[in-house]
Structure formats: C-alpha cells, structure tokens
Structure 1
C-alpha cells in the first residue's frame, strides 16, 4: 500500500499538527506501508523541493504571493494541486490522504479526479472553528458560514472521512453526512517517543527554582482558547492553600506577551515561570519535574468538539492530569479516575480542584497507573494505525466503480 499524505505543514516545523502527522506516518511505515507527504504553500519557503526528515520523504510546495481572500486561497489550492499532481506522477500512490484544513482536501480532490485515485480527508478541527479559537474569526460571520459550507461540500465529495474524535463525528452526522463514511482516528501517543518517562530531573528543577515544590505545568501553544490567563489568575488562590505551589509554562504563541504581563502583575509572580519553546526531544525532561499537567481550555465550540493531544502525552509520562470540563477533555479524562475535571472559565474553581488534587497524595499513583493504562490500550499509535487499513482497502478495491466529482465551487469568504 502506497499512501501520499497532503499536509498544511510538516516536519521539521514543530506543532501539535506535525507531531500527530509524524506519529501517523511513522506508524504506517512500521506497518509496512510506503508513505510520503506533500506540504502546502503555507509550510513556508524551504531550501529543498524534496527532503527526508526523520525517515519520512517530504515534497514541498512553493509559497504563493499573499493577496486578499478568497483570491489568495484559490491561488494556494491551484499551486498545491499542481505540486500534488507532480508528486503523484513520481510516487504513484494507491491513496491520497488529505489532512485539514479544507484547502488541502480541495487541492487533493482536483488531483484525485484527474488521476482517478481515491481520497481520504482527515479532519482534526473545523477550519472555521479554529479561526474563532485563534482569534482570527467570528462565529456566525459571513466568512464563518462560507467556510463551514465549503467544509461540508468537501466532506460530501471525498471517498472517506477520518475525524479525530466523536465530537467532530457527531457534528458531521448532524450535517447530513452518512455515518458509514466516517471513521474515528483518535489522537494518540507514539509510545516509542513517550513510552518511558525520565526520572525526576533534579538539575533542571534546581535551575528553574522549583526543587521540592508542588509543580503545576502546562506544555503546549499559548492560544487564547487554552485558557492560560485563567490558570495564572488561579495561582494566588492556589498558593494561599498550597504555599509551595509553582507554575511552569513551557511553549509560546500569540498570547505569550499578554500572559507574561499578567504574570508579572500577579501577587504571586515569583511562583510563575515561563520557559519558552523547547525542542521536542527535550520535552520529557520538563514532564519529569511536573506533578500536575493543567489544561484550562475555555468553553467554546472548538474545545467542546475537538480533543487535544497533550493530555495523552502527559498520561503516557505517568503525570497527573487536570483539565477544564469541556467536551474535548471529557473524551479523554474520566473525572476522579484517570484525571480531574474542573469548571471552565472559573479560576476559583480551578484553584480548588488543583489544591484538592495536590493534597490527595495517597491517590496519585493509582491515577497515574490508570492514565497510563488508558493510553496504552486506547490511544497508542501502534494500535490506532490499524483503523486506516479497512478504509484504504475498501477504497482501493472499489476504484473500478469510481465516478468523477463535479468541479469545486468558488470560494466566497
């Protein structure tokens, strides 16, 4: 089986998107499939048109000049489709596997129709909801509604759809999509990367000034929807109850400057530590010094529909997990069993939940073990990758009766 993955961006860039992609492609390689990936114009300029990163062959698409919407998006689709077509001629895949956003599916559909190839579209989040979560869009706006309609159009025309969680699956069924067309391929952990936690890194803890403290941590991107402002706001209340509590924030993103200013003005500023971005190969050192990984996502459509990856990595590292009680977290965390759920958008409620968890040391080891067991049994990429096999096989077996699609509609955003 030869699969060509169509990506918004990929390695060596680092993001939750690229880490999931890497896990999928490496797991497919270990299964014996031949895989390659084409990254779109938004990956940015690269020195090489083709390169191998971490044993994966990547083909790059040149960026296109920026212009107003929707003309910029149309240029991107055309440029990406041309590059995909070139790679198809060279790699000769059996299946095209496009990953969100929907622009990738639209580019892939053009090539799939021309080359008579089956295409799978994998949705990690709806583009319109991601824009709202990132602060670049408004729910219910003309652009939001147009993007949503375009997503639905694409889903109806690809051969199969994979989604990362039940929230997205139920939403698509509500749009009239045949449930039989949908497969859930949940977020998972590559246990070859996160399988064995490091021992407590005393030197790192001492350098950060958290040796012997009760450490709350966040490792990820600093977007508004992550709710880190609520976590910082909870710290004075938490320190009142647990004086040794320290907060370690690893990562960066659009909200970093505002969060640093908020932390500097906090009465417990000395308890809040910003680390910045660290190489992915160094992340497990920071996991080793954290007692509780906190994920205080705000309640909105994006966080209710989409499951994050980071809590799974934390469970694989045998860390305690505490998260806001939103739909995406409820698919991953069983309250007071594998983790703790606290009210979203509520710093006081968050502080109470974290204080209670820190005080319950007798229950820590059991929670750690149950969280780790959940990831090994249900969110392990060595097992998750098998979900693609029947989808690919059905599509390749059925290509003889494949019918062409109509032309994509014009973008109207």
Structure 2
C-alpha cells in the first residue's frame, strides 16, 4: 500500500474512529483520553485536556490537598484501565468511589441504583455527572447481558462446498494473543486440506482499537479476513448494536454462502451467528475457547465475584449459546466436562485441543547458538515463561522461585517474554529481590520469533494460580514448548495436568507456592531428566497435538458432514 493509499484509507476511517472515541468520551472520559492519545485527533485531545482541567479545578475548589489529589487521579486511572484491585486500594470513603467500585466489581443492579441516587444528591456538577455515568454504564452492561431469543433449533449446510466462515472477536495481524493465533492456525490447517476458510471480525475492529489504516478485506497467510467497518461506531444501545452485527454478518453470509458458521468465544459472536441462522438456515458451531466470565472474575475479586449479577448473567448467556448451537467445540477435557455439567449433551461437545504446526516440529537446534543470537547469557538452568502477563499466569510466583534457586546456589537465568497487566509488578519484584542481573525480558515479540525463544530454554514454567479459570482452560504455550522438546514445570491443575500427564512429560507442582516451584525447577538441573521429559513431550505432541489432527477432529463438530466437507 502506497503512502497515498494509506492516507486515503485513514481518512475514510476517521468518522468511525472519531464516533467511537466520542461515544466512549461520553461514557468514560478517563478511557477516552487513552483513545485520544492513540489516534492523535486534535479535537479529542482538547476534550481530554478539558476533562483533566475540570478534574484539577474540582480538586482545588474542594480544598483537596496534594496527596488526596494524587490518590484521586490514581483511582480514576485504575478505573480507566479496569484495574479493580488498584481501584479498591485507591478508593476513598466517599459515596461516588463506592458506586464506581460497585459497578467495576460487577454488582450492576446495585450500581444502577447507587449511581442514579447520587446523580441527584452529590454537591458538584462533575460528581453528579460521574454518578450518572456509573448508572448509565451499569444499565448498559445489564442490557448487553440480557437474554436473546433464537427461532431456529438447528441449521443446514450452506451451498459453497467446504467453505467455513469463522466469526471471531479480533484477529491477526493487529492482535497477537492465544485466541488470534489459534484462529490463524486452524484456518491455515483447514486450507491445507482443501477447505475454504474465511474469517470475519466484530463490527469496528480494528479501527476502534486504534488502527486507522484498515482495509475491509485482507489476506492473512492466504486466508481471506473480512472486517465489518461501518461508517460510524456501533450504537450505544446494545440491542441496536447486536442487530447491526447480525445485519452485516447476514450480508456476508449471503455473498459467501458458507456451509458452516463457526463462531468462537465470546457469546456475542455466538448470538450473532445464531440469529443469522434464523435468517439463512446456516449450520452454527460454537467454539468455547475459554470461560470469559471466569477470566473476568479472576481480575475482579476472585471467588467473591462469582456471585455478582455480571458474572451470573454472562455465564447464562454463554450457556444459552452452547445449548442453541448445532454443535460445541472446546479445547480440553476439563473444559468439556464443565460444558456437559451445564446440561449440554455429551455427544454434541467435540474436543479439538490446541496444537502446533510443522514449524514447531522442525528439527531441534543448538540451544547455545540460539542464546548467543538472542543475547541470553549462559547459565546452568535457563527457565522461561512466554505469555501475556495476566495475574493468573503466576509470574510473581516464578520470580520468587527464581530468587530461592539463586539463594540455593543454582545458576538460574529467567527469560520472560510478553507484556501485560502484571509487567510493572514483575519488574518491581525483580528489583526488590535483586534479580535484575538474572532476567532477560524482551517484552512482546513477533509471532515469527516465538519459536526461537522456546529453543533457548531448558525448562518452561507455567506457575498459574489456583482459580476456577486456570483449573478449566487449556493454554496453547505449553504445547508449543513441548513440541520444541522443552519440559514444562506447571501448577498441578486439571487443565494443565491433562497436558503434562503423570510426570512423564513434565513436572507438576503445588500452585501458588514459590518453594514448590523452585523445587520442581531444580529437578531439571539434571540434563538427563530434562532430555527424557522433553523427548517424551515432543513425541506426544507430534502424535496428537497438531493442527492437522485438529482439522480432522472438526469433522465431527461440523455435525457429521466430514464427507461433504
């Protein structure tokens, strides 16, 4: 694309970008400031500046001292990042903070009432406006989580032989995560066996995420990716936004005439696909890649969040889609058991685990050469974690375990690849424990380079905390590690134990226990044990955890259509 083409595309996307940012500003000025900085749109920068000035004026007018003002900014910054724990720590005792934390914590009905009452009673105009936004946001979330009716009880194959339309939230190249990588590998494997996969993302993606130079149709690894890019941002009214998604998806289905609509987590994708089934009769498969309500709960109070209306309603909507789909796909045995426990018939739930392609099963390479190329110093034991650094990944447990190994005179080198919410806490703990000289942390690296970082490791650490989401959801990265012959030391949780086995492909340790993790890693100082576990893991992955294997497994998910597909 030439510079002129890029400029023309960016200008054509400005109405969508600015309408999305403006609506976010009306709902949440703190988050809108982040969008304004991302797009660098002068008008929105002015709104940002005015918002900051109003906040400062309000603090001065009420006689708030400097320390209290700093804490106020800390609170609203945490709210803008959806950082529940930080917001709770920074919250004051006033009623407005309490209402905001109530909404952030998922008690939406209570937040609606609190916000509405405070919007009438708080002393300053700015406080009343913020309270009104609390009520409006909670009301809107409740509407987003309202039940959706589906007319059809089943669908039939579309006309285009072998064509599958994957309905997803986001995708490569703009978003690099386990979700988007799985989509990429699935559609590439399907294409390799003669199917005709297409991918469509949610309305507004990727423009509303800050990528102005976005074409409506792109090719990713020779697979067509379609973007729904309306002139303006989706409506703030949930039902109108849902209908827009259905209308645009229906247009695409009428053009492509896929045999199967293959929707992936979350439930909004499944709802849209099922409503399109009502219109076109196209068969729908719903792929459960995670339980988003549990991922949300893990960041918003843990077990206490599981009793909130936000959690319970989100769980209900996911379950509705599982029941309504023609078939359900999921990633691991623990996830399949959870879906069946909700009442979905076992014969309708197909297991299609995460896998690897031939790139990860290529011949192994010399680790020392890779380390020199990546700038990783030599060490007795090179331990790595490659992941988005969410709190549930347990990176802080790994840092503490590494400090224990050092204190036991083990020459350990940590390699942590990725970024995420826990990155600042990770670096702070590294400094506190004086581990900076033993840490290599390049941040996020391109997908094409990930294999090199696995090749540099002696052991892959997966110290996930013990929570509902980590007990259920099977991650991709340990499978990639095993494919490269790198043994995994993982928390003893059902979703991880089904990958590691009973010690024959890695080491399982007590979750949330740095000493247990240190002990498990110390076992792998023994080069013979490392080699034996790594070889067994690689052989297992090659036999039953490849994307080619997964593609065959999808035949069952497509409801007995293997011969026709």
**What TM-score comes out, normalization by structure 1 length?**
0.90
Seen in structure 2, the aligned counterparts of structure 1 residues 346 and 75 have a Cα distance that, compared at 3 Å, is farther
Cα deviation for residue 193 of structure 1 reads 4.8
Q: Which residue, 172, 180, 188 being the options, matches 1:11?
A: 172
Mapped pair 1:177 → 2:344: yes
* Matched position secondary structure for 2:335: helix
Seen in structure 2, the aligned counterparts of structure 1 residues 164 and 3 have a Cα distance that, compared at 3 Å, is same
Structure 1 match to 2:546: 380
Seen in structure 2, the aligned counterparts of structure 1 residues 67 and 273 have a Cα distance that, compared at 3 Å, is farther
Task: State the alpha-carbon separation in 2 of the partners of residues 94 and 256 from structure 1.
Answer: 43
State which drifts further: 263-272 or 170-179. 263-272
Contact between 2:392 and 2:465, CA under 8 Å: does it hold in 1?
yes
Give the number of the structure with larger relative contact order, counting CA–CA contacts within 8 Å between residues 6 or more apart.
Answer: 1
Task: State the alpha-carbon separation in 2 of the partners of residues 89 and 159 from structure 1.
Answer: 20
Structure 2 match to 1:103: 268
Structure 1 match to 2:256: 91
* Matched position secondary structure for 1:35: strand
Task: State the alpha-carbon separation in 2 of the partners of residues 396 and 205 from structure 1.
Answer: 47
Structure 1 match to 2:118: none
Residue by residue over 1:237-296, the C-alpha shift from the partner in whole angstroms, topping out at 9 and shown as x without a partner, is 111224310111001111111211111111333212221111111112211221111000
Contact between 1:218 and 1:295, CA under 8 Å: does it hold in 2?
yes
Q: Which residue, 293, 297, 321 being the options, matches 1:154?
A: 321
Larger radius of gyration: 2
Cα deviation for residue 191 of structure 1 reads 2.4
Residue by residue over 1:56-76, the C-alpha shift from the partner in whole angstroms, topping out at 9 and shown as x without a partner, is 1000123874887xx45x454
Structure 2 match to 1:41: 203
Task: State the alpha-carbon separation in 2 of the partners of residues 205 and 92 from structure 1.
Answer: 51
Q: Which residue, 328, 332, 335 being the options, matches 1:165?
A: 332
Mapped pair 1:62 → 2:229: yes
Seen in structure 2, the aligned counterparts of structure 1 residues 60 and 286 have a Cα distance that, compared at 3 Å, is same
Displacement over 4 Å in runs of 4+: 63-68, 134-137, 395-398
Task: State the alpha-carbon separation in 2 of the partners of residues 395 and 320 from structure 1.
Answer: 38
Structure 2 match to 1:405: none
Seen in structure 2, the aligned counterparts of structure 1 residues 297 and 113 have a Cα distance that, compared at 3 Å, is same
In the alignment, structure 1 segments of 5+ residues that lack a partner are: 399-413
After TM superposition, list the pairs within 5 Å mapping 1:214-229 onto structure 2.
Answer: 214-229=381-396
Task: State the alpha-carbon separation in 2 of the partners of residues 42 and 346 from structure 1.
Answer: 42
Mapped pair 1:26 → 2:193: no
Structure 2 match to 1:300: 467
Cα deviation for residue 208 of structure 1 reads 3.4
* Matched position secondary structure for 2:295: helix
Structure 2 match to 1:361: 527
Q: Which residue, 428, 432, 436 being the options, matches 1:265?
A: 432
Seen in structure 2, the aligned counterparts of structure 1 residues 211 and 291 have a Cα distance that, compared at 3 Å, is same
Seen in structure 2, the aligned counterparts of structure 1 residues 397 and 357 have a Cα distance that, compared at 3 Å, is closer
After TM superposition, list the pairs within 5 Å mapping 1:67-146 onto structure 2.
Answer: 71-72=237-238, 74-135=239-300, 138-146=305-313
State which drifts further: 272-281 or 95-104. 272-281
Contact between 2:417 and 2:443, CA under 8 Å: does it hold in 1?
yes
* Matched position secondary structure for 1:41: coil
State which drifts further: 98-107 or 256-265. 256-265
Cα deviation for residue 338 of structure 1 reads 0.4
Task: State the alpha-carbon separation in 2 of the partners of residues 299 and 215 from structure 1.
Answer: 25
In the alignment, structure 2 segments of 5+ residues that lack a partner are: 1-161
Cα deviation for residue 109 of structure 1 reads 0.7
Structure 1 match to 2:408: 241
CA RMSD of aligned residues (A): 2.2
Cα deviation for residue 83 of structure 1 reads 2.2
Question: Counting helix residues as a fraction of each chain, which structure ranks higher?
Answer: 2
Task: State the alpha-carbon separation in 2 of the partners of residues 193 and 207 from structure 1.
Answer: 18
**What TM-score comes out, normalization by structure 2 length?**
0.66
Task: State the alpha-carbon separation in 2 of the partners of residues 334 and 142 from structure 1.
Answer: 37
Structure 1 match to 2:556: 390
Task: State the alpha-carbon separation in 2 of the partners of residues 187 and 203 from structure 1.
Answer: 26
Question: Counting strand residues as a fraction of each chain, which structure ranks higher?
Answer: 1
